[in-house]
Amino acid sequence: MKEGPPITLPGNTVLYYLGGEVPLEGRPDTLLRAYALSSGELVIEDVLRKLPLEGKLYGFAFDPDRQRIAVTICLSGDCFKHSLISTRATEDVVLLSDDGGGTWANLGPPPAEGAYLVGFLGEAILFGLPGATDSSGFPWRGVLVPSGIPIVGPGETYPVPFDGRAIVWTTARGGVFDQTGGVLRSASPITGLQSDRTGGQFSYLPDILLAYVPGGAAAHAIVEVDVSESPKRAVSWGDFDLMPVARLAPDLLIVNRYRPPTGGLGDAAILNLATGQYRPIAGLRRPTDRDAYPVALSVWPFARITSGPTCLNVRGKPSTDAESFGCFSDGVLLRVTGPLTTANGRDWLPVEAPGGDAHGYAAAEFLER
């Protein structure tokens, strides 16, 4: 493992990360997103800038491909008593954005005292609930919001979001199960390595295993496995921690680099599995050199709405007379699904609206790429 020079964020990439100084409570100041325009300009935005209320960020979940974000916000003046991820139902609120932070809906308080955000499960939000029967946290149980449907994990497992629309269940030894208890991986397939956890804290990477060698000089390793779960390649290190978060390209992972005991949230970097080199992502807003913790990634062509104070319609056909599937505010990102087309004297881009359910056209004059 070796560190290389800083690298710029590739085009057609949207990176969400935690940023800001870490207060005594151990919480980040804000949630940011970064993306590069075709001009080379790196845009960094506060995802929470349009929240309808003021408070402290205490939990979050992503479906990045559909631009869905859920957060829990502490409203009280004394947020210090919160645990790392849990909430207090009487003092917190859950908010949901279906357009990457452009607009927010208030879903009310969390489902229970001590509940914490896990991720999205279809259209619902999965919360973990307190009340484990032993110190290892098993059996795990949760609830879907807003339906209130209870969820129970299969055996001694805990949930990890997978692709924003599903949940898989993992064990401390590298086992992975689906919601019915079906075995996706029975245990770590790597001989001589004891599994630490699979995938990242915020997403499950089915072909990436994070493991450690007990007592070894290079204590940690990221191991890529093939479809038969045989090791393909591995990158190891010993004096800091890397957490795989998302796959950027076949050879590239977005990782968080953390150097205890210096503290901080960590630092977003790109790890090349082929060369074993990691490179910090340049240009991210960082109050210190260790406060840019990546949490989610989207990799697709996009265009940013530049409609000013008005919203921009996504229409069923390239015409101002066509049905509107939704009107989206300035700064919202639309997924581009095809080449520019001209109709009725105006240029249009075929796009997918946030949420992934509406495909149509938006006027290109109000879009920046």
pTM of this prediction? 0.86
Distance CA 339, CA 341 (A): 6
* Residue 122 counted as domain residue: no
For residue 51, which of 34, 27, 75, 67 has the smallest C-alpha distance? 75
Domain with 363 in it: 303-368
* Residue 134 counted as domain residue: no
Total domains, the chain: 1
* Residue 338 counted as domain residue: yes
Distance CA 142, CA 115 (A): 8
DSSP 55-82: -EEEEEEEEGGGTEEEEEEE-SS--TTS
Distance CA 252, CA 205 (A): 13
* Residue 354 counted as domain residue: yes
pLDDT tens sequence for the chain (369 residues): 788 999 999 999 999 988 755 443 444 557 889 999 888 889 998 888 888 888 788 788 888 888 899 998 888 766 655 444 445 555 788 999 999 998 999 999 888 877 888 888 888 898 888 655 444 445 677 888 989 998 887 777 778 777 666 777 877 666 777 777 777 776 665 554 444 444 444 456 777 777 665 555 556 777 777 766 677 887 877 666 778 888 899 999 998 887 655 556 678 899 999 998 989 999 887 655 557 888 888 899 999 999 888 899 999 999 999 999 999 999 999 999 999 999 989 999 999 988 877 899 999 999 998
* Residue 23 counted as domain residue: no
CATH of the domain at 355: 2.30.30.40
CA quadruple 165, 132, 256, 240: dihedral sign = negative
* Residue 322 counted as domain residue: yes
- pLDDT for the residue 59: 82
- Three-state SS for 156? coil
* Residue 202 counted as domain residue: no
- pLDDT for the residue 69: 93
- pLDDT for the residue 240: 63
- pLDDT for the residue 88: 55
Which residues lie below 8 Å from residue 252, measured CB to CB, with a gap of 6+? 270, 271, 272, 273
* Residue 352 counted as domain residue: yes
Contact between 30 and 3 (Cβ < 8 Å): no
Contact between 93 and 55 (Cβ < 8 Å): yes
